[in-house]
């Protein structure tokens, strides 16, 4: 009797809080999104003010994809209009364009500056998943709706033809992101400290050697040529130290 009662309560809870749909794999939750023009396959990110369509390239705040046919959906029936079913796992239809190049099966898909629309990942960075269908649309303004296996993660850029690391994009992304992982924060901190130390040492050495050279030139004008060569060598050494510091900082950021 107790078992029947528990089963009845469980069925009542499921029927009152959610509904089951069938088509794509994955579970979807109902979340409020204030942006307009949201359709099936729209990419969604988590912002400071709530959920919104993804508008940043390689967005590390990516949350999920709007879907109209999840395998299981938990929908808040008491919520007002403006809530959409968003899935974070499984296989789902995603809106994409060929703005970053034609999409082949197996390519990594990432967010773009076009709200809610994905593109092929050209560089290393945060991706939303892997394309299971191609998109070869010649017009980059037109969208394709393709199946994507959702697997949000940081990718080192494994697509064929990848152009490697976009350092300036990484810095821009980090500056605009409200959250950074501890490892990423440490890398940027080490890069800043290395660059600052190299320039501080370079300017200190440059000023000291320059002052010493001028004083020596005043005391012994006849040795002007030798003193001048020594000052030039010191300046070159200073430049090498500063350049080496910049190189180390660059390697910290890209490796």
> Model confidence at 152, in pLDDT bands (50, 70, 90)?
very high
Mean pLDDT over all residues of the chain? Answer: 77
Assess whether 111 and 218 both reside in one domain: no
How far is the C-alpha of 225 from the C-alpha of 44, rounded, in Å? 67
- From the list 133, 93, 117, the residue with the least C-alpha distance to 38 is 117
231 lies in which domain range? 183-254
Assess whether 116 and 235 both reside in one domain: no
In-domain check, residue 44: yes
In-domain check, residue 214: yes
Assess whether 195 and 242 both reside in one domain: yes
Assess whether 145 and 193 both reside in one domain: no
Per-residue model confidence (pLDDT) at position 20? 42
In-domain check, residue 49: yes
Per-residue model confidence (pLDDT) at position 13? 47
Q: Is the pLDDT of residue 12 over 70?
A: no
Number of domains in the chain: 2
In-domain check, residue 113: yes
Q: Which residue has the higher pLDDT, 71 or 132?
A: 132
Assess whether 149 and 205 both reside in one domain: no
Looking up residue 219, the CATH number of its domain turns out to be 1.20.20.10
Assess whether 37 and 144 both reside in one domain: yes
Per-residue model confidence (pLDDT) at position 144? 94
Assess whether 11 and 127 both reside in one domain: yes
Assess whether 129 and 218 both reside in one domain: no
In-domain check, residue 172: no
In-domain check, residue 165: no
Per-residue model confidence (pLDDT) at position 80? 54
In-domain check, residue 249: yes
Assess whether 18 and 100 both reside in one domain: yes
How far is the C-alpha of 119 from the C-alpha of 239, rounded, in Å? 41
Assess whether 187 and 151 both reside in one domain: no
Assess whether 74 and 151 both reside in one domain: yes
Per-residue model confidence (pLDDT) at position 161? 46
In-domain check, residue 168: no
Least confident of 175-179, 229-233, 237-241, 243-247: 175-179
The full 3-state SS of the chain, as one line of letters, equals CHHHHHHHHHHHHHHHHCECCCCCCCEEEEEEECCCCCCCCCEEEEECCEEEECCCCCCCCEEEEECCCCCEEECCCCCCCCEEEEECCCEEEEEECCCCCCECCCCEEEECCCCCCEEECCCCEEEEEEECCCECCCCCCCCEEEEEEEEEEEECCCCCCCCCCCHHHHHHHHHHCCCCCHHHHHHHHHHHHHHHHHHHHHHHHHHHHHHHHHHHHHHCHHHHHHHHHHHHHHHHHHHHHHHHHHHHHHHHHHC
Looking up residue 95, the CATH number of its domain turns out to be 2.40.300.10
Cα Rg of the chain, angstroms: 28
Strands 83-87, 108-111: pairing is unpaired
pLDDT digits (tens, 9 = 90+) for 30-86: 889 888 889 999 999 998 888 999 999 889 899 999 998 887 777 664 445 678 999
Q: Which residue has the higher pLDDT, 134 or 160?
A: 134
């Amino acid at each position: 009797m107790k078992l029947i009662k528990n089963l009845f309560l469980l069925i009542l809870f499921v029927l009152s809080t959610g509904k089951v749909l069938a088509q794509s794999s994955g579970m979807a939750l109902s979340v409020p999104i204030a942006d307009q023009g949201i359709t099936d396959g729209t990419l969604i990110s988590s912002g400071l003010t709530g959920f919104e369509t993804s508008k940043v390239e390689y967005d590390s705040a990516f949350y999920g994809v709007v879907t109209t046919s999840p395998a299981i959906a938990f929908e808040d029936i008491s919520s007002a209009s403006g809530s959409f079913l968003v899935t974070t796992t499984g296989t789902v239809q995603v809106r994409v364009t060929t703005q970053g190049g034609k999409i082949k099966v197996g390519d990594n898909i990432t967010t773009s500056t076009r709200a809610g629309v994905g593109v092929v990942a050209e560089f290393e960075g945060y991706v939303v998943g892997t394309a299971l269908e191609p998109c070869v649309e010649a017009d980059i303004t037109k969208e394709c709706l393709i199946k994507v296996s959702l697997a949000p993660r940081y990718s080192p850029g494994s697509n064929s033809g990848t152009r490697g690391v976009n350092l300036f994009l990484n810095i821009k992304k980090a500056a605009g992101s409200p959250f950074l992982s501890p490892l990423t924060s440490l890398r940027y901190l080490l890069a800043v400290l290395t660059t600052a130390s190299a320039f501080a040492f370079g300017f200190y050495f440059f000023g000291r050697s320059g002052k010493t050279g001028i004083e020596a030139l005043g005391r012994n004008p006849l040795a002007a040529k030798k003193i001048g060569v020594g000052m030039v060598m010191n300046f070159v050494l200073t430049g090498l130290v500063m350049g080496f510091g910049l190189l180390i900082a660059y390697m910290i950021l890209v490796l």
